[in-house]
Amino acid sequence: MGGSDKPTFGEQFCSDLQTLFLWRRDVRRFKSEAIPEGMLERLIQIGCLAPSVGLSEPWRFAIVADPARRKAIHACFEACNAEALRSQRDDLAGVYARLKLEGLQEAPAHIAVFADRTTAQGHGLGRRTMPETIEYSAVMAIHTIWLAARAEGIGVGWISILGPSRVAEILDVPTDWTFIAYLCLGYPAEENDTPALQREGWETRRAPDSVIVRR
Ligand SMILES: Cc1cc2nc3c(=O)[nH]c(=O)nc-3n(C[C@H](O)[C@H](O)[C@H](O)COP(=O)(O)O)c2cc1C
């Protein structure tokens, strides 16, 4: 792949892109409808266009279709979530208990994302003082997939309420791989421009101005 024909992005595209950013949601409620054949692979290909430290492309993807492994992942979530509920402050426990924090059983497609710190690709460039840039790179791929999926009308839900070593064991991936995310994908059962956690009274978005310091 290559080429130097410079594309231009018109006003309409920029406006649509802004709409995509606004409507990209973390989705936990899915329709049972399957996503088209080859779509997961296509989304992963797009994810691989993401930036990575030293062009290391350290992202690794496990497409999880095996029912027994999916069941084990769900059991892992249940155990971790029960533990998380027990650790909530008294005033938040009631709201937490009502939150839907995964769509594992409804989502037709599952992808676990890992990062490989041992990769020789990139020859270590950019990660001597910050080895964690390998994991950051995998997150870049996830966000790219998230947006590309939404543009296709497909919702993505990121699950982190899992035990990383248990996930690696269930999925039988190389021990060098670091677990980054478990993604559920499918057509959303509901669409909204506001995060579910805000709608459910858990948290609100802060003003972008409040995250900027000037020096
Ligand atoms: C690193 C990361 C981990 C997350 N883990 C979970 C999770 O375990 N369960 C869940 O329901 N949502 C999870 N989310 C989704 C966030 O709750 C969600 O992105 C946030 O509330 C903002 O909502 P939005 O993505 O719809 O804008 C995660 C998101 C990120 C980026």
| Mean pLDDT of the chain, nearest integer | 97
Percent of residues, the chain, with pLDDT higher than 90: 98
Give yes or no for residue 26 CB within 6 A of ligand 1: yes
Cα of 125 from ligand 1 centre, angstroms: 30
Give yes or no for residue 192 CB within 6 A of ligand 1: no
- Of the pLDDT bands very low, low, confident and very high (cuts 50, 70, 90), residue 1 is low
Residue 87 CA to residue 85 CA, distance in Å, equals 5
Provide the b/e sequence for 157-171 (b: ≥16 CB within 10 Å).
bbbebbeeebbbebb
User: Does the pTM exceed 0.95?
Assistant: yes
Give yes or no for residue 135 CB within 6 A of ligand 1: no
Q: What is the pLDDT of residues 12-45, one digit of tens each?
A: 999 999 999 999 999 999 999 999 999 999 999 9
Residue 67 is predicted with a pLDDT of 98
Mean pLDDT of 196-200: 96
- Of the pLDDT bands very low, low, confident and very high (cuts 50, 70, 90), residue 183 is very high
Inter-CA distances, 9 with 15, 133, 152, 171, 192, Å: 10, 30, 19, 41, 26
DSSP 161: -
